[in-house]
């Protein structure tokens, strides 16, 4: 059965909001009513420029932040209503791989203890079983036994990310939020880490939310892609469909910025330059939040928020160009 046919949702995000109170009691709407599902065994890429709310969304799904409104369901259960025991299981089954592998590893801890953090917190293994599991995890991510008794500073960026992946895998998770896991790595190492994540997904049936600002790498790992702008989703589709037929002007602009290896195609393609920065989520534009940077903006775009609509099968967007 292909991943596309396997449509059982592991994670359901319903109208999720995460607002922060900032200076002068103003509200920063980092995530403002986002809904999507992540199916078992798939990778959903969540992309957008820095400051669009994608990392806050990932952290709210994981329970690091309390939602301001809306719900997150995991295996059909509302995480906000889980009892203590269910919550503990949830925190075991949901793990995270961080952007900066150095900052996320305690420099004073041995790699063995870093990898075994989850095993120790959940009291899963001890003694020789714990040790064997650490060695097994090191081998799974392409490191070896000798690395167990070293400190993080003794490793390269790519190796440190492998340690971060081993730590996430240690407790046999079902779902991993990969928060820009390759952004801090050299381009030559990025593909290796993406390949490792794909191999592990196949081996263990893992489900990923892969957060990134770089659309080029997201294409290779994601089954579906969701594009986020200023706290809201603007488009979701199967990966090939989104890259081949982007509907939303924001997605079109992001994709036009990706270099194409073929110089002829590259020359023929029209680059859409996104003017200006993402507006502040404290004071977003009225109507469509993208209208201040959209070359196709119309009068209605300032007056009305576009509806979320399925324009083609499994291809959704929120843009007045597609609303009758």
- Site membership for ligand SF4, residue 320 (CB under 6 A): yes
Nearer to ligand SF4 by Cβ, of 158 and 287: the residue is 287
Question: Residues 164, 180: contact at Cβ < 8 Å?
Answer: no
Nearer to ligand SF4 by Cβ, of 296 and 314: the residue is 296
Q: What phi, psi does 303 have (nearest 5°)?
A: -90, -35
Contact track, ligand SF4, 253-292, x by CB under 6 A: -----------------------------------x-xx-
Nearer to ligand SF4 by Cβ, of 172 and 305: the residue is 305
Nearer to ligand SF4 by Cβ, of 6 and 245: the residue is 245
Among 158, 249, 281, 284, binds ligand SF4 (CB under 6 A): 249
- Site membership for ligand SF4, residue 97 (CB under 6 A): no
Q: What angle do CA 193, 182, 222 make, to 5 degrees?
A: 75
Helix 187-204 / helix 157-169 crossing angle, nearest 10 deg: 20
Shortest CB 248 distance to ligand SF4, Å: 6
Residue 53, CB-side half-sphere exposure with 13 Å CA sphere: 30
Nearer to ligand SF4 by Cβ, of 173 and 287: the residue is 287
Three-state secondary structure call for residue 102:
coil
Question: Residues 180, 210: contact at Cβ < 8 Å?
Answer: no
Nearer to ligand SF4 by Cβ, of 315 and 320: the residue is 320
Residues that contact ligand SF4, how many (by CB under 6 A): 14
Pairing of strands 315-318, 308-312: antiparallel
CA dist 147 → 35, 107, 159, 268, 281 (Å): 41, 14, 10, 49, 44
Nearer to ligand SF4 by Cβ, of 218 and 319: the residue is 319
Shortest CB 231 distance to ligand SF4, Å: 14
Shortest CB 311 distance to ligand SF4, Å: 12
Shortest CB 48 distance to ligand SF4, Å: 14
For the chain, how big is the Rg over CA atoms in Å? 21
Q: How far apart are CA 207 and CA 54, in angstroms?
A: 17
Touching ligand SF4, residues 62-81 (CB under 6 A): none
Residue count of the chain, please give it: 324
Segment interacting with ligand SF4 (CB under 6 A) among 48-56, 216-224, 267-275, 315-323: 315-323
Touching ligand SF4, residues 189-248 (CB under 6 A): 248
Q: What letter does residue 324 receive in the DSSP assignment?
A: -
Contact track, ligand SF4, 291-310, x by CB under 6 A: x--x-xxx--x----x----
Q: Which long-range contacts (CB under 8 A, 24 or more apart) does 17-23 make?
A: 17/67, 17/68, 17/69, 17/70, 18/53, 18/56, 18/57, 18/60, 18/65, 18/67, 18/68, 19/68, 22/282
Binding site for ligand SF4 (CB under 6 A): 248-249, 288, 290-291, 294, 296-298, 301, 306, 319-321
């Amino acid at each position: 059965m292909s991943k596309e046919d396997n449509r059982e949702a592991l994670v359901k995000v319903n109208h999720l909001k995460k607002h922060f109170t900032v200076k002068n009691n103003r509200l920063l709407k980092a995530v403002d009513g986002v809904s999507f599902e992540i199916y078992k065994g798939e990778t959903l890429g969540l992309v957008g420029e820095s400051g669009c709310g994608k990392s806050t969304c990932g952290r709210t799904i994981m329970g690091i932040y309390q939602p301001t409104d809306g719900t997150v369901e995991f295996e059909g259960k509302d995480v906000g209503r889980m009892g203590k025991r269910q919550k503990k299981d949830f925190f075991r089954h949901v793990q995270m791989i961080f952007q900066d592998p150095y900052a996320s590893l305690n420099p004073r801890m041995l790699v063995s203890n870093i990898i075994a953090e989850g095993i120790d917190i959940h009291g899963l293994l001890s003694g020789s079983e714990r040790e064997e599991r650490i060695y097994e995890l090191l081998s799974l991510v392409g490191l070896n036994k000798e690395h167990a008794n070293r400190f993080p500073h003794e490793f390269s960026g790519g190796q440190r990310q492998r340690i971060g992946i081993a730590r996430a895998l240690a407790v046999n998770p079902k779902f991993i939020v990969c928060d820009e896991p390759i952004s801090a790595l050299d381009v030559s190492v990025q593909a290796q880490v993406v390949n490792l994540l794909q191999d592990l997904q196949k081996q263990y049936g893992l489900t990923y939310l892969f957060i990134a600002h770089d659309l080029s790498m997201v294409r290779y790992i994601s089954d579906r892609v969701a594009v986020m702008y200023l706290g809201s989703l603007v488009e979701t589709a199967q990966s090939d469909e989104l890259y081949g037929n982007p509907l939303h002007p924001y997605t079109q602009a992001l994709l036009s910025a990706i270099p194409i290896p073929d110089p002829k195609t590259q020359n023929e393609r029209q680059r859409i330059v996104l003017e200006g920065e993402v507006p502040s989520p404290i004071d977003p534009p009225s109507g469509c939040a993208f209208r201040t940077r959209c070359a196709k903006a119309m009068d209605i775009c300032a007056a009305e928020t576009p509806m979320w609509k399925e324009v083609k099968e499994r291809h959704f967007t929120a843009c007045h160009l597609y609303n009758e």
